A and B are shown apart, each in its own frame.
Chain A
């Protein structure tokens, strides 16, 4: 139940995109149609779900004084990003081998994920909030799911807004920014909800 709370909190209350504004670049660049947004969203859930536990293991068994009591935390950024980059490359190779159809629909988005701040941000938040191993998996999947929901939502709005009479200079990018701001304000209404109180574990 504790894990479910972390999942819900990461997906809705602390939504990566709409509460922390992480992973904005690919969020704005790939949200023109729902179909591509769907593919990228799935890939993000997947990569977040894998890298989070791996980075947890690295942080706790390599960096935090585990080797001869040395404090190697200054290597955290380099190791985390190396894990993310190699994981993305690995995932890309595996998907290419196992399912060429999926690779063709996802292929271009996979390298983009490496520079998605939501992935590295998730790992850094995990360290800052001192999650344990299973909590880090729940947080990774929840964060990914929240990101997925947000990009699907904006892509759907952007598909619809093409039929509206937006001032020419505001079309496309400008409108996407303002929409995201409005969505962020809407998501603020979820702030302060305590998932532990809702599920009765408290």
Chain B
């Protein structure tokens, strides 16, 4: 009897590949169909605060992918040992530990970026995506799948963050990746900027009327942009439309 169950178990293990279709779906679903920001409405605070430039958004996205993936993994491993009444505190301590790891590594790797992001690194703890995925997925699923789900949701969050940051930085500051080694200055007030350099030589003069849009620098612009993303997504996928 015992042999039969172990045989059945190993057969079940064989039929569950390490990276099958279901596992792939766990990563791709949150990118569009079940996006944490536009559909689940989780983790918006930091999406608005850090997105005026692409580089800090990229840093935050990487941090969230890391925290989300590993906190799901750890919670899932411990899920049968966590008492129900104090599970929130346990989850938060796991998340807070990982965020502290991120904070200290960032302080060591790039102090200026750490200074710029100030409290927003700490606020990853209260990023509802992390907590939400722990509650909704990791507490009820096996470690490997929870890990993939965490990574997928982190990526879905990062995708929206980078899209918002791209529009805000390009139209607000006329640059891309400002503050990083790969800084690109495209349209701007001085001769350092690409279009202006072209304008002086006569090629780019058709863009010389452009000046930067200061609205995009305000946090409110992030609200408008996410609102517009939701609008576009829901027009393309009518089943998502809010009927209430």
Contact = CB atoms under 8 A, between A and B. Distances in A.
Interface residues on B, range: 35 or more
Contact of B100 (A19, A78, A170): A78
Given A77-B99, A81-B96, A169-B234, A181 B122 contact: no
A29 B45 CA distance: 13
Contacts of B95: 81
B227 A174 contact: yes
Per DSSP, chain B at the interface is: helix
Contact of B96 (A25, A32, A77, A115): A77
Interface string B203-244: 000000000000000111111101110111011001001101
Contacts, number: 141
Given A77-B103, A172-B244, A181-B227, A120 B123 contact: yes
Interface residues on A, range: 35 or more
Interface in A20-35: 20-25, 28-29, 32
B230 A177 contact: yes
B18 interface: no
B219 A21 contact: yes
Nearest to A124: B119
Per DSSP, chain A at the interface is: helix
Contacts of A170: 227, 230-231, 234
A188 interface: yes
A172 B230 CA distance: 10
A120 B227 CA distance: 26
A65 interface: no
Given A77-B125, A174-B230, A174-B234, A29 B41 contact: yes
29 contacts: A21-B49, A22-B123, A23-B45, A24-B44, A25-B43, A74-B100, A77-B96, A77-B100, A81-B126, A82-B92, A85-B88, A85-B89, A89-B88, A114-B126, A115-B126, A121-B45, A124-B123, A128-B118, A167-B231, A169-B235, A169-B241, A170-B227, A170-B231, A170-B234, A174-B227, A174-B234, A181-B227, A182-B220, A185-B220
